[in-house]
């Protein structure tokens, strides 16, 4: 999602300390890849994600995590290319362990 792209930009800048031009190069490659679909978070998805965060105070899930969970449920996606264990907590399959 566009929320994930935002997290990626922050990660690439710090702590990975990539130059701005390198960050743009990486993100543009992702945005232009024909096999990647970036879902833009709309208001209903954002609200559902925020509600999920509030309804699970026992989990340290971020709004970005919760928005990903909502999108994955909407699209019937069960696996995530992530090392984030929160996806397993939410019932998804984490590919990077």
- Segment 22-81, tens digit of pLDDT: 999 999 999 999 999 999 999 999 999 999 999 999 999 999 999 999 999 999 999 999
- Cα first-last separation, the chain: 22
pTM metric for this prediction: 0.91
Q: Which long-range contacts (CB under 8 A, 24 or more apart) does 22-31 make?
A: 30/5, 31/5
Residues 49, 87, single domain; the answer is yes
Q: How many structural domains compose the chain?
A: 2
The residue range of the domain holding 61 is 43-94
Domain identity same for 14 and 56: no
Q: Is the domain of 57 the same as that of 89?
A: yes
What Cα–Cα distance (Å) separates residue 27 from each residue in 4, 22, 87? 11, 9, 23
Domain assignment present for residue 38? The answer is no
Same domain, 14 and 53: no
């Amino acid at each position: 999602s566009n929320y994930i792209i935002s997290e990626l930009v922050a990660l690439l800048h710090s702590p990975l300390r990539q130059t701005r031009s390198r960050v743009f190069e990486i993100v543009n490659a992702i945005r232009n890849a024909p096999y990647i679909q970036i879902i833009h978070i709309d208001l209903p998805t954002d609200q559902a994600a925020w509600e999920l965060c509030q309804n699970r105070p026992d989990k340290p899930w971020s709004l970005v995590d919760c928005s990903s969970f909502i999108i994955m449920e909407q699209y019937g996606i069960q696996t995530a290319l992530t090392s984030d264990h929160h996806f397993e907590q939410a019932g998804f399959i984490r590919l990077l362990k």
